[in-house]
Amino acid sequence: MDRRGENLVRPTLLAMGLHALVIGSFFIAVSPQAKTIVPPQVMVIQATELTFAPSAAAQARQEKQAAEARAREQAEAEKRRQEEAKRQAERKKAEDAKKAAEAKKAAEAKKAEEARKAAEAKKAEEARKAAEAKKAAEAKKAAEAKRAAEARKAEEAKQAEEARKLAEAEKARELEEAFNQAQAEARALEELKQKEAEELAVLNALAAEKAAANVLDAMTTRITQAWRRPVAFTGGLEVYLRMSLASNGELVDVRVVKGSGDALFDRSGLTAVQRAAPFHEVKQFDARTFEEKFRTLTVKFRPED
Report CA-CA distances (Å) from 117 to 108, 123, 126, 197, 303: 14, 10, 14, 101, 131
Helices 56-226 and 3-29 cross at an angle (nearest 10°) of 150
Predicted pLDDT at 35: 47
Q: What is the mean pLDDT of residues 269-293?
A: 93
Predicted pLDDT at 166: 85
**Per residue in 246-278, is it b (16+ CB within 10 Å) or e — as a string?**
eeebeeeebebeeebebeebbebbbebbeebbe
Confirm if 283 and 258 have CB atoms less than 8 A apart: no
pLDDT tens digits, residue range 21-74? 767 766 555 455 544 455 556 555 554 555 556 688 888 998 999 999 999 999
| Class of residue 242 by CB neighbours under 10 A (exposed 0-12, middle 13-18, buried 19+) | middle
DSSP 3-state assignment of 268? helix
pLDDT tens digits, residue range 104-121? 997 797 997 997 997 796
Q: Half-sphere exposure of residue 101, counting CA atoms within 13 Å on the CB side?
A: 6
Q: Torsion angle, CA of 174/176/181/186, rounded to 10 degrees?
A: 140
Bridge-based pairing state of the strands 251-258 and 239-245: antiparallel
pLDDT tens digits, residue range 163-220? 799 879 788 689 899 788 969 897 888 888 888 878 776 766 777 788 888 999 999 9
Q: Does the global pTM surpass 0.75?
A: no
pLDDT tens digits, residue range 208-257? 788 888 999 999 999 999 999 988 888 889 999 999 999 999 999 999 99
Element (H, E) at 147: helix 56-226
Please report, for the chain, the start and end positions of each structural domain, with discontinuous segments joined by +: 3-54, 227-301
What DSSP line would sit under 148-199, residue for residue? HHHHHHHHHHHHHHHHHHHHHHHHHHHHHHHHHHHHHHHHHHHHHHHHHHHH
Q: Half-sphere exposure of residue 302, counting CA atoms within 13 Å on the CB side?
A: 7
Confirm if 60 and 66 have CB atoms less than 8 A apart: no
User: In sequence order, which residues have a C-beta less than 8 Å from that of residue 50 and are 6 or more positions away?
Assistant: 10, 13, 14
Confirm if 217 and 247 have CB atoms less than 8 A apart: no
Domain 227-301 fold is 3.30.1150
Report CA-CA distances (Å) from 29 to 21, 22, 44, 71: 13, 11, 20, 49
d(CA 284, CA 219) in angstroms, rounded, equals: 14
